[in-house]
Amino acid sequence: MNPTTVIAEAGDPKATASHASDPETIDLSDPATFADQDLNAFWRDLRDTRPVHWNRPTSQRRGFWVLSRHEDIIAVHRDDENFTSERGNVLVTLLEGGDAGAGKMLAVTDGPRHEQLRKILLRALGPRVLRPVAEAVRANTRPLVREAVAGDGCDFALEIASRIPMNTISNLLGVPESDRDYLLTLNKTALSTDDDEVDEEESAMARNEILLYFQDLVEERRKTPGEDLVSTLAHSTVDGVRLTDEDVVLNCYSLIIGGDETSRLTMIDSVHSLATHPDQWQRLKNGEVAINTAVDEVLRWASPSMHFGRTAVQDTQINGVTIRRNDIVTLWHYSANRDERVFDRPEVFDLGRTPNQQISFGYGPHYCVGAHLAKIEISELLMALRDFTTGLEWTGHAPRLRSNLLNGFSSLPVRFFPDRAGLAHDDEMSGETR
């Protein structure tokens, strides 16, 4: 089989999916909506005909507004006068009436406290301080890819993508290696799953277990601080007041969830997309596209966090539609990243796309604090694939997540074809540095 051959029925979940387009029949609060249907026609319809769309209430939950255009979503991200994050920033908490981390966890804190928390975290996650971390990411990534290339095949999602981001964020937080598989399992259950049997109660229990885990770790770091981010948070102050255990635990929870999910799902999607688009793989392999440009495109294409949300704090308008005080407004990055008003031929996967105004990390005051770290991880993966393989192919079914928040695959069986010259060159370079 040709190294870049794609077998649609084996790996493409959309090969047999139904195509949904009627906005009145789509419930964006239901995780099954995203697992069972190709929604691209639906999003195009919203962008063209009803960019501010009302997702109707049901007997179990309230209704909410849906924004699909890039321009409108950017405007709400910037607007902290009319909208707040402190009543939740994703549907699971917005529809439950609030987030317990409000005013404590960076993602659901606004105003001056948000700015001060953000400064604390950027001391550990900003571009200037991540150079040694980038070297550690490379040292972790390249052996994993080499091992996969040497074998007959692997589940890329489970054996490679699951290990790179979790190891990176765990190193920063000071999580022992022995606990990382446990936390990864909890992460997957907390926000998304491919298992129909996992219900919201089990997801809530997983989120609680993560919080309890970090409570124990914070207590340890209070007594015996180290060089890790948990220690930094445990001994930081805002307005002269030391962060409480709850403050630290909630931000650790946010970092372990966010630091794992976005990078992991983008990595999985990048391999899926490169196998699907052999022409783009050749551009990457031949060095025809810059790695940072390719990273932005795989982020746009994957859109791993499909939405974020806000609550209106007063009556306002979006695109001529009146939004009432206390209304929920959801910002669908997946749609914005395919907005024809911003992207030329957005339906085309183009690793050389420039400019690329993808907003997979959000925008404005709440722009993802770990964005630079995630880009390091994704770029190291792409470089390892470029250097060590001549091609890749799917070898089995790739099930999608059941989630109304996270977009991607829970499993991706693949085979890589070795680049003998690239592997030998890497051996030579490694020998010179020893």
Distance CA 429, CA 408 (A): 35
pLDDT in tens, 276-301: 999 999 999 999 999 999 999 999 99
Query: What residues contact residue 13 under an 8 Å CB cut-off, 6+ apart?
Result: 398, 399, 400, 409
What does the domain layout of the chain look like in residue ranges? 21-433
Structure-derived torsion over alpha carbons of residues 246, 247, 252, 257, reported in degrees to the nearest 10: 90
Contact between residue 232 and residue 123 where contact means Cβ atoms under 8 Å apart: yes
Contact between residue 241 and residue 378 where contact means Cβ atoms under 8 Å apart: no
pLDDT in tens, 337-349: 999 999 999 999 9
Say what the pLDDT of residue 297 is.
Answer: 98
Say what the pLDDT of residue 4 is.
Answer: 36
pLDDT band at residue 195 under the 50/70/90 scheme: low
Say what the pLDDT of residue 16 is.
Answer: 37
Closest CA to 60 of 26, 19, 29, 100: 29
Contact between residue 391 and residue 281 where contact means Cβ atoms under 8 Å apart: yes
pLDDT band at residue 9 under the 50/70/90 scheme: very low
CATH code of the domain occupying 21-433: 1.10.630.10
pLDDT > 80? residue 194 = no
pLDDT band at residue 127 under the 50/70/90 scheme: confident
pLDDT > 60? residue 1 = no
- Please classify residue 423 by burial: count the beta carbons closer than 10 Å to its beta carbon, then call 0-12 exposed, 13-18 middle and 19+ buried: middle
Average pLDDT on 62-66 reads: 97
Per-chain mean pLDDT for the chain:
90
Distance CA 394, CA 32 (A): 24
Average pLDDT on 222-231 reads: 92
Distance CA 374, CA 12 (A): 25
Q: What percent of the chain has pLDDT over 70?
A: 91
Say what the pLDDT of residue 15 is.
Answer: 39
